[in-house]
Chains A and B, each alone.
Chain A
Amino acid sequence: MWLRFMKPWGLRPRGEKWKGRLQSLLALQPLRLASGCRPPSVTARALVNHWAQLFEERGVPEARESSEYIVAHVLGAKTFQSLSASQRCAPITDLQQEQIGELCTRRLQRMPVQYVIGEWDFQGLTLKMTPPVFIPRPETEELVNLVLHEQSQRCQEFRRKRTLAHQSHSWPLILDVCCGSGAIALSLLSKLTQSRVVAVDKGEEAVQLTRENAQRLHLEDRIQIVRHDITSGVNREQLLPWGPVDFVVSNPPYIFHCDMAQLAPEILSYEDTDSLDGGENGMSVIREILSQAPMLLKDSGSIFLEVDPRHPELVEKWLQSHPDLGLSLLATHVDFCGKPRFLHIHKSRDPGSRRTQNV
């Protein structure tokens, strides 16, 4: 019965959706009274089915998932699967139905689910998401794990050598280039409880969002957020407030320019293309990071990059043609789909005169 009432909102043309919904809600009231008894309460599952079907009809990808995430969000859960039995069968209020309708209408306009509900999870954190700041992809969670793994290896090595070396063990300093929403920087800070991170992005929205996320997660004391375009050269004072870093981590724009047109509407019309478009062969920002990294890294520091599966070969060639940088590709790691996705690049020697200065 309620489906009959709901259909009109979703199917209404975009412009008049708000007014239309209110009218149909008002129209619903007298009917309820007339029937003389409580109308059957709408269940969460029925709402999910309704919107999933509508998404399907309109060609919205991940129709069921989108519908589930939105309904769960309005009911106060992260996923539909994590709704408790009582949450699931409690009657849904008119206000909740209205909220769900409003959010689903945005999804019908192909807005990514993460922007629709205004947040998403990355590693263990819930981050605020606002357009047009790049939405972190699941692959990048693995990039963070690689950095954490490297750090735990360094710790073990340090413990083994402790009797020999006199340098004190310290938490790594990290530079996150193209930080977007702050996903990489903040998840590293939450795991490495005494590390400090410098997060850099050229977009004002990204810098703002990283700052907001850092505050929400109470990590703002250990992060320095800098608005800076890495392609315009290095500003060491800005980028290295605490001196050279142990790790440079980045998920730079790496999509080949020629592939940009084929991206889904969710990406093309909502996400900042500057955070995706890597130029002619997706290398423009990668090259900049590699050129500048030797000046930013400590001796034997590491760079961790997320790249396109065609990049490992290109990057290796490029590094070979730039021996003066003193960088070497230590390892290529595959993502959960088995695609070569992550590069671990090592700074093997200092290119400039710093080494002699240190001696």
Chain B
Amino acid sequence: MHFYKSDLFQYISGSISDTDLLKQLTELGLEVDQSKKEKNDLLVKLDLTPNRGDCFSLIGIARDVCAVNNLKLKLPKFKKQQQNLDSKKTVSIDKKACSNYLGQIIKLNNKGIIPKYIQKTLKAADIGQVNPIVDITNYVMLHTGQPLHAFDNQKIGKKIHVKFPSKRTKLKLLDGASHEITKDYLTISDEKKVIALAGIMGCANSEVDETTQEIFLESACFEPSSIRGNARKLGFQSEASLRFERGVDKEIQEYAINFAGQLYAEIFGGDFSTIFKQSKNHKVKKISISKEFIDSRLGTEIPATKVIKLLKALEFKVESKRNLMELTCPSHRYDIEIKEDIIEEIARIIGYDNLPSIRLKLLASSPEDTSIEKEMLSKDIFVNAGFNEVINYAFVDSSLIQMLGLNQDSIELANPISSNQDVMRPSLVPGLLNNFEYNFNRGAQKFRIFEIGNVFTKEENWKSLAGLLFFDESSSDWSGSFQSSFYDLKKIIDLFFSRLNIVPVYNKASINHLHPGISAEIKMKTKTIGNIGVLHPAIQKKLKLPDIVLFEINLDSIKLPIINSIVQPPKFPGSERDLSFLVSSEIPANDFIKELKKAGGANLRSVSVIDVYQGKGIDESQKSMTFRLFWQATEATLEDKEVDQFVENQINHVAKIFKAKLRS
């Protein structure tokens, strides 16, 4: 709602400085978005909340300003015009959708010229001048909040119906656009045709223009429920629908039609018919509230007399009955329905800054959400490992998903913001690749990035953790730096799992977007919880990217807390042995270690790989692996003989299982 201060003060007996007015409007909940000094006036632009439909009018705003300043509202009275035009109309209304309908035929005797003061008001409100007939309806609407509509009376029939159509209907609106409307649209119709979409816009078939000599002026109250959403469904909002959706004063129709009548008489010199009227009795809203309830919700001690004075200033009728105040709501406050609304009115007029503040002593009793804890812990681990956190949009390009061969069950958005953000991400990988590309193209040479976020498929959603590692060797400095091999990333993933007390297993696997020879699925016990590997060379080529290593882990599959008991280390010295085996290069180290452990007895504490060798001196199909084995007993020092026995068992065992040979 945009207006000039001078227009507003037609209704206020008293004066307020510009600064105070702007401050007060915002503090009343009528937020000043912009204001501008212009000549001797002040242009004010309000950003109104949907509940204050009453303030889409100068009178409505004036009411609030008067209430907070204890000033009197000046409402001019408009007399009915002399009704000497003998024309007939009948009106029927759908009482559920329309509570009040007034119409008057006005014969326009002269060509009208819109005076400057009306032009100024319309311009302030960003409503352009259309033609003198329509300009008057808009002017009255800006003052009263009542949308009026003028039909060319010669283009419509004798019977006016406010009704829902019985079938789908095609129509052309005033803005020239054609629409097909369903039975949900309330219409104004005559005997033959729809002449307006009630509360939204008139139809082209009854439009007024320069040649119009007689108008049928409508001033009606349509229920918000019959208007809401309909304009939006057609793809626009009109000044009328804006107001009807929010609720228009049920008692202002006559005032508005007489206000307009006076202007038509002044500007056109009109002859007027009687006012044709149909209405139903509307219920006056009543609310009972006690001082105790007000104080209990605001934490205040406000005297009842102050409350009553304040509500009366807002045009509530107040009757005191024992401890209760019986309030009758003013008809223009469509938004007031319950006790809490009254509390807001009181707080608003007193001013929130003038209300007390009290420290809350309540403590919560419910347990933490471990999912958030897990996310925080994961972030800490990766940041400490030198990773930079990124945050990507949750929607990605479906063609990228397809190219990466990621889950095909991604969920499509019905109304994506752009075609390259059309599906919910089934993985964090596409986002990380985008981040890589963006930064790589801007000269970044080192990458350790990670993200934690939800991913989505048609079957389920889960919280995912993913990261990417890249290091451009040529950017290495004198100290060397991190590398970007599979094993460099694996080391970090192991670090992550060890912080969570999890021992993961890496099994070679085929994952669409990863290099089939340099990738693994990560398993916890028997459950696959993620993957790690080098980006598939074919994808790399298509995206023109260098070698990068990636991982992704399903965080939801890890349950916190995982608590291990801490065991006291044995006091007796242990024995260490190094063993080298020749074995087929196909055998995964992890399988080999498993078998060494099986045959190594209960006191075998650790097996580590200290060397892997393939090449000169060894058959091409073979590799040499050197293990360091460590035994230690809890009750006594192990004797060499005992350890020798374990070693012999192991050598025999792996010879049988893997055909492994001990290297001398």
Question: Do the two chains bind?
Answer: no
Please report B residues at the A interface, Cβ cutoff 8 Å. none
